[in-house]
Amino acid sequence: LQTRMQSLQPDPKAQYRSVYEALKKIVLTEGFWRPLRGINVTMLGAGPAHAMYFACYEKMKKSLSDTIQHGGNSHLANGVAGSVATLLHDAVMNPAEVVKQRMQMFNSPYKSVLACIRTVQRMEGFGAFYRSYTTQLTMNVPFQAIHFITYEFMQEQINPRREYNPRSHIVSGAIAGAVAAAATTPLDVCKTLLNTQENVALSSVNISGRLSGMVNAFKTVYQLGGIAGYFRGVQARVIYQMPSTAIAWSVYEFFKYFLTKHKLEKRT
């Protein structure tokens, strides 16, 4: 839904006024499973990407907090650790995101994940899978910095003893995801344009060939939609990120608690 709603020059058959209308229209005209198209490639990359992401975050957060605040909770350490973890995470997830978004566009010519990968590789080269990597990092570094700082801040407020408390992890995760998602929507719109290379949108502002680079994407989005163009899909983005970050944190905190508890029991 987010990919479709961020389309800057959508096909008349793919114009939506709200998230609910978009979902209803896609299901009725393109089939029940259409909104989930490309999810398999995302799932394939998500496992290793998140493993590296949280491992790097925990290690760096502890090391930096010890240095900056002698073992205390440093918001600077949380932000820096989240930013560095993002570099590893996005190196895995960026190609998966390119494939997913191309398959989700209206009238997508790709029949399967493999067909999409082969066609993009043959027509545009390997670099196409990383065309939006710098943009992704430009977006995700502030996103993750805001996300981790907000999560840790919320934990200080509602779970000051930092015990395993599923409700506090879900609430903190959801709020952190919503705040970070809303703040970085303009960057996400630019990323979607770079990933999908919308022909209609680009030709309408006399751009031939491939659009690349964050600065060019920002200019093009403004030409096509003005200031409002930067916030296309903000509602869908927040709705998507809230449960996503809430689930990620609650699952992560559960396994952290479970494995730590199991380790302590073995020592005892």
**Residue 201: in which H helix or E strand, if any?**
helix 199-204
User: Residues 145-153: what's their mean pLDDT?
Assistant: 94
Q: Classify residue 108 by its DSSP letter.
A: -
pLDDT digits (tens, 9 = 90+) for 251-263: 999 999 998 887 7
d(CA 24, CA 17): 11
pLDDT band at 16 (very low <50, low <70, confident <90, very high): low
d(CA 140, CA 84): 10
Q: Which residues contact 77 (CB under 8 A, 6 or more apart)?
A: 60, 61, 64, 65, 67, 68, 69
User: Residues 20-49: what's their mean pLDDT?
Assistant: 67
Tell me, what's the pLDDT at 166? Answer: 95
Lowest mean pLDDT among 35-44, 57-66, 211-220, 250-259: 35-44
Q: Is the pLDDT of residue 93 over 80?
A: yes
pLDDT digits (tens, 9 = 90+) for 56-69: 999 999 899 888 87
pLDDT band at 50 (very low <50, low <70, confident <90, very high): confident
CA 98 to each of CA 101, 129, 210: distance values in angstroms, whole numbers, following the listed order: 5, 6, 15
